[in-house]
Chains A and B, each alone.
Chain A
Amino acid sequence: SQQGEEDPQALSIQEGENATMNCSYKTSINNLQWYRQNSGRGLVHLILIRSNEREKHSGRLRVTLDTSKKSSSLLITASRAADTASYFCATPSNTGKLIFGQGTTLQVKP
């Protein structure tokens, strides 16, 4: 069963625009993570936000967490063609394992 679900499934934007992806989850969590996967590669960790944090920044990335709505968003500002990838949220399940959503595929057009 999926713990995190990303929305939208696919997103296409022009270089320089901002990209926003959302993740909803079902049960209470103590942290939520975002990963990026380039085509044909493994996943790479981007950022972790804890349940007592509302917002976190890392370079051009901004992550928010709303535990009351059980949702998180990932904002990529001033996108570049190199940001083209799939983005996954991951949350710990009630049995302690890390569960990934199905991802949002982002295409940034030059």
Chain B
Amino acid sequence: GDSVTQTEGLVTLTEGLPVMLNCTYQTIYSNPFLFWYVQHLNESPRLLLKSFTDNKRTEHQGFHATLHKSSSSFHLQKSSAQLSDSALYYCALSPGTQVVGQLTFGRGTRLQVYA
């Protein structure tokens, strides 16, 4: 079945440094949708950004990611970390039109930003 791999369980950064959270995926479907969800402490996950277009950068709230089908990757980046970015980040995959609506989540990466 489908799978999403987030290699880092915890990323710690000093404020102002760049952020990169890794996400790779496996699926048999040719047109997957990829998502990043963010979950702040004691809150529920909410969508941060999404993409289904190969090699197109998508941006939201200072974060950006590019879906690369050739390497099955969808890494999350930000140029300068802020204290408020501290949260749990999930990468997720939907197979697309062939299998309607289901998401497969990675195990999550906790980002901790220090002053």
Partners in one complex: no
